[in-house]
Amino acid sequence: MHATVTAILVASRGAEHLQRTLDAVRAQTRAPDAVVVLGMDADDATSALLAAARPTRLLAATQRMPFGKAIATAERSLPPVAGEDEWLWLLAQDTAPEPEALERLMATVEVSPSVAIAGPKLVDWQDGAFIRELGLAMTPAGASVPLVEDELDQAQHDGVSDVLSVPSAGMLVRRAVFDELGGFDPGLPVVDDGLDLGVRARLAGHRVALVPRARVAMAGDGVSGPARSNRWSVRRRLYRAGRAAQLHRRMVYAPRFALVFHWLSLVPLAILRSIGWLLGKQPAAIGGELAAAFATAFGAGHIGEARRRLARTKCVGWAAIAPLRIPHTEVRRSRALKREASLVRQRGERRELNFFSGGGAWVVVGMAVLNVALFAPLLGSATIGGGGLLPLTGDIGSLWAGLGYGWRDIGIGFVGAADPFAAVLAVLGSTTFWQPSFVLVLLWFTALPLAALGAWFFATRITHRAGLRATFAIVWALAPMLFAALQSGRPAPVLVHLLLPWLFFAGSAARRSWAASATAALLAAAVLACAPSLALALLVLWILWLAFSGRSVMRVIGIPIPALALFIPLVVQQVARGDWLAVLADPGSPVASGGSKPWQLALGIPDATLAGWSAVADALGLPHLGATLLVPVLLAPIAVLALLALFLRGTIRATLSLVVAFVGYLTAVVATVLVLAGSGQTPVGVWPGSALSLYWFGVSAAATMGMVALGRFAIAPAWIAVVALAAAVGPLAIGVPVGTSAVRAGAPSMVPAYVQAAAAQDPRVATLRIEPQPGGGIAAELVHGDGQTLDQQSTLISTQRDLTADQRDLARLAGNLASTSGLDESALLKRFGISFVLLAPADEAAGTDASLATERRATSALDGNALFAQVGSGASGVLWTVTRPVSSVPVPPTAGAPLRLIVLVAQAAVMLFALLLSIPTGRGERGSLRRPTAAELAAGAAGETRGRTGRASRTAAGHSTTRSVPSTTPDVLSAASPPREPDGTAGARLEQVEDVPLEPQPATGGKAADDGE
């Protein structure tokens, strides 16, 4: 009997592809006997085209359906099955067969009666030289694997015939078998419908054949199979569909006894795989992974129905199809190939930085030596103090316990959100877990080399010239605001200065790499935690960055998330207080700063001391005007170079750098007018130094670019800039040896040794610390245990707008204790659990008449108070003990519950997410979800045509090297011309060319270089 073919063409809104498809069907050398056309939710243009094609039967559906359902609908409209030789040819609007396609398919099935399904070679719509899909198979574990995907067609696969299955598009299927199998599985609407049908046909004893010579062009409109698009949402949906299909098939194909185990494993497996996706830098897949698992586990599904359908027709065992599965080794190999191809497309980020050979190590070592020399008097001390430096909590357990939300043990104590800075301190303190406070000493002794290290690495993004990289690193390490922060004992701005280059280093790669993006996110969170005043500046830069990031916007858009997670509890609390500005207050112990004028800020100096030159002028009896003129002159070379960069090559890069500087400068100016916190009587403004770090970063980056553009004339300006800068910061830098620094060896204990001994017995022992203020008032503070720590500080209390009833009572107690008073203080002492009263000395040199008078007044009053007995006096003040013992007040046991747990878990989850994503997983990214475009394939193929002798000869990780020119650095272009030297002498030039561990070798220079090796 003569075989009949009914072509079923499913179309939706796709007029641009449909015409070619219709024409192609009409042009078949073996024309189908009937053409049934189904328009689903078709627009007018599509309907018109369909009608004009004059099909045998024209069907219309009002809504879109999955391909399988559409085919079933169309098939039902046909007359009943007449015989074995009735075939269905399944087409979609975007599958244009070549004229001989049907003829060749039929030729295959007519000679092999056991074949029930035959599939063509699906090629690219525009360029038929590329195979999009060719056959489908499964791994032994059941994951679907395309036999061939996105490859250049060199007839290398034309020998394949028997396969496990073929894609649904262009499939030729025996109608009787199709009916017997019950059509496509409705549980597989998008992905794997063809695979499943093929598997069931095989299990029913039929064969599935591949006909590579029959070629069908495919556009990927999404009518049959998934839509082919590189849009994020589409790719995410596709991943979800693929995973859901795989899980569905797993539940369908599994033997009955294993069902429970498979079901139980669905969600845990999804979570494990999500972590894998994070490590694999594909966070986009996680949503789909979890959604698919939950949908399969708890969704309605069609699993039961599908299992029955399978069981009905199954007549051979699974062992029968085992040879057609793809072994795992083969899967791994093809994955590795894909990864490499993906790396080729990413233009290869691997670049040797030459940290050791390029002088970076020497700069760091030099800065380390300078650092140790400048802070030599602090050597050997286990703790440092002074300024804003306080010790950290003694054990890392409580260091971490203070994060999130809960009891803040500062002053009387209250329940509130922790400063995000506490998280930074917890991480920092854990590095010296045996004594967390020691990390501050370490920080002070490594600040310069660490700053230079970060800056050097960032400089690799600006220039390849070792000298200029070193210049940038030195200019960054000798920055005036870094020394100002070190000398005034401000750990947070020091950290900002160390982290900023890394933030920009990671940030500049964030568009290309998830690991860099997550690292930038974590660094941004740390920088903001140290200096919340930078929030606006970083927000502006982030928005600019978003605007320029184009297609990789997703990698940039998530960067603020960890910072938000850290700040949300604090922001909510401050906003509830009606004081959102207070979020910007500096964390840590509040330290007042001398108001700097805006023109002084422009020099990068955050206080009014002119980097110590005012004091030098005083000491030498020089006029102040001299110092005022000298410092700008010394810092001028950097500014001149920065502005010069605008006039020279690389204007755009320089402009971007100067925009960073501009934003930093404005933030610094704003910081000087924000006085948000208070310490005793003294209002404490936001320190402009952190913003100046940002400013300095922009200026010195622009100056470096200026030097890059100057080419070989850059050496003299670089030397002048560095030497002048060193001279300018000299007086500030030597603050510790000459004793002008606030930082000194040994943490000043807030309470005397006597109280410390008592605190060893009872950590909650309370001391009322009274400190005379310059205006004659007193600051009264409750100190629990052996004194305050840096991690317990809270901006919630330093920026407080209203006093609590407890604080008013404490004030009343302190005021009466410092006066001749008729108050019986014992009730208040008992309520606060106060065992000691400490009168801190008003420094004779710095104290005012009023503070000295207040000190005498308080001394006299406390001496005359029968409730107290003087214990003694020391450096921390005069101590009285309460004669009648008072029991201390414990921390409320349920402080902060249940919010504390919620905040902790949420913050931990976000941080873990970012951390996992930020871990660089060895050999770059795994094959991306994104499929290459034809143009990208063509670009890759240009290289692949060489050396492709066969699959077996390839190695997974290519060892041959490619010499290509980094496109981002114009100054390298001249130096990177292909080396002409026969051997050896090429080395000097090769240093400036990146090494990419890729297999293909597109560049002509590569050959010569290989010879040289």
Partner 1 sequence: MANRRALARGGARIAAGVIGVAVAAATIGAATLLPLPSVERTPLSVQVRPVPADQQRVCPGGLLELGADASASSISAFAAPQRVDGSVGGAVDGAVSRRGLKPVGVVAGAADAAPAVIDVAPSAAGAAPQIAGAQSQTAAREVLAGLAAASCTEANADSWLVGGATTLGQTSLVLLSNPSAVQATVDLSVYSESGILTAPGAQGIVVDPGTQRIVPLAGIAPNAQAPVVHVESAGGTVAASLQQSLVRGIKPSGVDVVGPTAQPARQQLISGMIVSDIAAAQSAGGSEGSSSAMPAVRVLAPGRTAAKVTVSVVPENGKQVGTTTSATVPAGTVQELPLDKLVDGAYTVSVNSDQPIVVAARTTDIRRTGEDFGWFAASPRLADSILVPVAPGPAAALHLANPGAHEVTVHVPSDSGAGPSTAVTVPAGGGTSVALGSPGRTVVLHGTAGLVASVGLVGVQGIASYPLAPAGPQAQQITVYPR
Check binding of 968 to partner 1 (CB under 8 A).
no
Within 197-256, which residues bind partner 1 (CB under 8 A)?
A: none
Check binding of 780 to partner 1 (CB under 8 A).
yes
Nearest approach, Cβ of residue 780 and partner 1 (Å): 5
Which of 207, 45, 223 is CA-nearest to residue 117? 207
Which of 518, 512, 527 is CA-nearest to residue 558? 518
User: Which of 431/820 has CB closer to partner 1?
Assistant: 820
Nearest approach, Cβ of residue 774 and partner 1 (Å): 11
Within 417-446, which residues bind partner 1 (CB under 8 A)?
A: none
Which of 638, 642, 637 is CA-nearest to residue 660? 642
CA dist., res. 218 & res. 128, Å (int): 9
Helix 420-431 with 491-509: angle, nearest 10 deg:
90
Within 822-881, which residues bind partner 1 (CB under 8 A)?
A: 822-823, 844-845, 848-849, 852-854, 856-857, 859-861, 863-864
User: Which of 544/852 has CB closer to partner 1?
Assistant: 852
Within 570-589, which residues bind partner 1 (CB under 8 A)?
A: 581
Within 718-777, which residues bind partner 1 (CB under 8 A)?
A: 773, 775-777
Among positions 676, 710, 751, 886, the unique one binding partner 1 when judged by CB under 8 A: 676
Instruction: Mark residues 320-339: x for contact with partner 1 by CB under 8 A, - for none.
Output: --------------------
User: Which of 299/774 has CB closer to partner 1?
Assistant: 774
Check binding of 615 to partner 1 (CB under 8 A).
no
Nearest approach, Cβ of residue 611 and partner 1 (Å): 17
Check binding of 677 to partner 1 (CB under 8 A).
yes
Instruction: Mark residues 794-813: x for contact with partner 1 by CB under 8 A, - for none.
Output: ---x-xxxxx---xx-xxx-
Check binding of 674 to partner 1 (CB under 8 A).
yes
CA 791 from chain center: how many Å? 26
Within 376-395, which residues bind partner 1 (CB under 8 A)?
A: none
Report in angstroms the alpha-carbon separations of 168 from 153, 165, 571, 860: 21, 9, 54, 96
Check binding of 76 to partner 1 (CB under 8 A).
no
Instruction: Mark residues 395-414: x for contact with partner 1 by CB under 8 A, - for none.
Output: ---------------xx---
User: Which of 163/797 has CB closer to partner 1?
Assistant: 797
> For residue 407, what are the β-bridge partners?
415
User: Which of 283/664 has CB closer to partner 1?
Assistant: 664
Query: Which amino acid belongs to residue 248?
Result: H
Among positions 109, 818, 878, 990, the unique one binding partner 1 when judged by CB under 8 A: 818
Query: Given the rule CB under 8 A, which of 489-497, 669-677, 730-738, 934-942 is the region that contacts partner 1?
Result: 669-677
Question: Are the C-beta atoms of residues 683 and 773 closer than 8 Å to each other?
Answer: no
Check binding of 601 to partner 1 (CB under 8 A).
yes
Can you spell out the DSSP letters for 151-215?
A: EE-SSTTTT--B-SB--STT-EEEHHHHHHHTSS-TT-SSSSHHHHHHHHHHHTT-EEEEEEEEE
Nearest approach, Cβ of residue 415 and partner 1 (Å): 16
What's the alpha-carbon Rg for the chain, to the nearest Å?
37
264 CB neighbour count, 10 Å cutoff:
11
Nearest approach, Cβ of residue 290 and partner 1 (Å): 45
User: Which of 343/638 has CB closer to partner 1?
Assistant: 638
Can you spell out the DSSP letters for 579-614?
A: -GGGGGSPPSS----PPPPHHHHTTT--STTGGGHH
CA dist., res. 38 & res. 36, Å (int): 7
Within 105-144, which residues bind partner 1 (CB under 8 A)?
A: none
Question: Are the C-beta atoms of residues 700 and 820 closer than 8 Å to each other?
Answer: no
Among positions 77, 430, 821, 985, the unique one binding partner 1 when judged by CB under 8 A: 821
User: Which of 354/682 has CB closer to partner 1?
Assistant: 682
Task: Name the 3-class secondary structure at 103.
Answer: helix
Residues contacting partner 1: total by CB under 8 A: 76
Nearest approach, Cβ of residue 819 and partner 1 (Å): 4
Among positions 197, 208, 378, 644, the unique one binding partner 1 when judged by CB under 8 A: 644
Among positions 27, 415, 643, 742, the unique one binding partner 1 when judged by CB under 8 A: 643
CA 858 from chain center: how many Å? 55
CA dist., res. 245 & res. 311, Å (int): 19
User: Which of 290/853 has CB closer to partner 1?
Assistant: 853
Burial class (CB in 10 A: 0-12, 13-18, 19+), 798: buried
Query: Which amino acid belongs to residue 864?
Result: G
Nearest approach, Cβ of residue 860 and partner 1 (Å): 5
Check binding of 792 to partner 1 (CB under 8 A).
no
Among positions 65, 218, 417, 814, the unique one binding partner 1 when judged by CB under 8 A: 814
Residue 862: its H or E element: helix 849-863
Which of 793, 805, 794, 783 is CA-nearest to residue 888? 783
Nearest approach, Cβ of residue 881 and partner 1 (Å): 16
Within 933-962, which residues bind partner 1 (CB under 8 A)?
A: none
Nearest approach, Cβ of residue 41 and partner 1 (Å): 51
Helix 232-253 with 259-279: angle, nearest 10 deg:
150
Question: Are the C-beta atoms of residues 721 and 359 closer than 8 Å to each other?
Answer: no
Nearest approach, Cβ of residue 577 and partner 1 (Å): 12
Check binding of 540 to partner 1 (CB under 8 A).
no
User: Which of 575/803 has CB closer to partner 1?
Assistant: 803
User: Which of 844/1013 has CB closer to partner 1?
Assistant: 844
Number of residues assigned to the chain: 1013
Among positions 34, 662, 831, 899, the unique one binding partner 1 when judged by CB under 8 A: 662
Instruction: Mark residues 35-64: x for contact with partner 1 by CB under 8 A, - for none.
Output: ------------------------------
Phi, psi angles (nearest 5°) of residue 299: -75, 170
Nearest approach, Cβ of residue 698 and partner 1 (Å): 11
Instruction: Please work out, in degrees rounded to the nearest 5, the angle formed at the alpha carbon of residue 466 by the alpha carbons of 464 and 467.
Output: 125
Nearest approach, Cβ of residue 859 and partner 1 (Å): 7
Question: Are the C-beta atoms of residues 18 and 92 closer than 8 Å to each other?
Answer: no
> For residue 656, what are the β-bridge partners?
none
Nearest approach, Cβ of residue 644 and partner 1 (Å): 8
Within 679-718, which residues bind partner 1 (CB under 8 A)?
A: 679-683
Would you state the structure tokens that stand for residue 343, as one six-digit string? 């790396």
Nearest approach, Cβ of residue 710 and partner 1 (Å): 14
Q: Are strands 130-138 and 144-152 parallel, antiparallel or unpaired?
A: antiparallel
Among positions 815, 833, 978, 997, the unique one binding partner 1 when judged by CB under 8 A: 815
CA dist., res. 403 & res. 908, Å (int): 10
First-to-last C-alpha distance (Å) of the chain: 69
CA dist., res. 317 & res. 294, Å (int): 30
Can you spell out the DSSP letters for 331-342?
A: HHHHHHHHHHHH
CA dist., res. 327 & res. 324, Å (int): 9
Among positions 16, 599, 901, 980, the unique one binding partner 1 when judged by CB under 8 A: 599
User: Which of 245/796 has CB closer to partner 1?
Assistant: 796
327 CB neighbour count, 10 Å cutoff:
10
Among positions 87, 502, 665, 696, the unique one binding partner 1 when judged by CB under 8 A: 665
CA dist., res. 1011 & res. 699, Å (int): 44
Query: Given the rule CB under 8 A, which of 153-161, 304-312, 450-458, 662-670 is the region that contacts partner 1?
Result: 662-670
Report in angstroms the alpha-carbon separations of 13 from 218, 222, 586: 16, 11, 58
